[in-house]
Amino acid sequence: MIGEPEVEGDGGDPEGAWTEGASADVVRGGVRGARTRPWPWVLGAVVATSAVWALVLQLSGYGKESVPDLHHYRISGSPCGGSSLKPLTDALGAGHVEVFPADTQTGPALDQAECTLTAQRSVGTHWQASYSTVVTVQLHKKTDPAAEFDDVGSGRHTLEPVAPSDDGSGTTTAILATGGSTHVVRVPDLGDRAYLLTSGRDETLTVLHGGAVLTVAVDVQEKWTGPGAVPPPDADGIPQRPPRQAGYRSALVATMRGLMSALSGPASQARNETP
């Protein structure tokens, strides 16, 4: 004889479990009731893990630009003070040099100072040379100035390597030609990178060293002091020109080394730490 089907479990169909309108959320042996959902736990674990990783990345500095190394350079007083510029002033051969006060500005991202000195002397017969030297110091404390520095004057010069040339200093360097009458020479063994820009009789030496950009520029103006408004012509009918003066590369390099030492030495640090 066929009996009633047996229902697995210990209580069969609970009373009212399958009555009209009852919930179908039933398990064998009883009503399941409110279901426990795992999502709050999962979301909590994700949030906690994200917080931990955010803290790790923050502590490790991930995603942040590294602060430029200033190599202990500090601005105190005028960059034109002291004996830093003596190699250059000696090379100019002027009896009197006038130094103007420095313009100094400091800020959270950039400290900078600029000073000017002028000198005059006679060159040849009835010619006078006037020299204006500008010293600029920029200390970039937040962003690396290397990319801008390599533009060599904010893109005014397009560097094109040409054949190496011995400039007479005992070191063979590559001359980089630029548009117009300006030439750029890379100077070795000075900071991270250094360039000498020459335009006519004007010369500028600029150096990148970490976050520091240091520049010494010499502008030369020559004036006829003889009779008449202009110099008389030579045998070929061409107006006389002032005697050619030697370049100042060696003096500029020696001056730059002295300036770098003065700005990064203990005396400079002590002056800056004085209240």
Q: Given a cut of 50, is residue 44 above it in pLDDT?
A: yes
Cα gap 60→21, rounded to integer Å: 60
Cα gap 74→270, rounded to integer Å: 10
Helix 266-273 and helix 249-264: axis angle, to 10°? 50
| pLDDT classification of 54: cutoffs 50, 70, 90 | low
pLDDT of residue 52: 63
pLDDT of residue 56: 57
pLDDT in tens, 67-110: 899 999 999 889 998 888 999 999 998 878 899 999 999 999 99
Cα gap 263→75, rounded to integer Å: 7
Strand locations in 178-263 (E): 182-186, 193-199, 202-209, 212-224
pLDDT of residue 45: 67
DSSP type of residue 87 = H
If phi > 0 it is left, if psi is from -120 to 50 it is alpha, else beta; for residue 176 that is: beta
Contact criterion met (CB below 8 Å) for 271 and 262: no
Q: Where are the alpha helices (DSSP H) in the chain?
A: 39-60, 86-92, 146-150, 249-264, 266-273
Q: Given a cut of 50, is residue 149 above it in pLDDT?
A: yes
Place of tokens 């009458």: 181
pLDDT of residue 207: 96
Contact criterion met (CB below 8 Å) for 42 and 36: no
pLDDT in tens, 182-227: 888 899 999 999 999 998 889 999 999 999 999 999 999 988 888 8
Residue 259's CB: how many other CB atoms inside 10 A?
23
What tokens were used for 58?
């923050």
Mean pLDDT of the chain: 75
Place of tokens 């040339």: 165
Percent helix, percent strand, percent coil in the chain, to nearest 5: 20, 30, 50
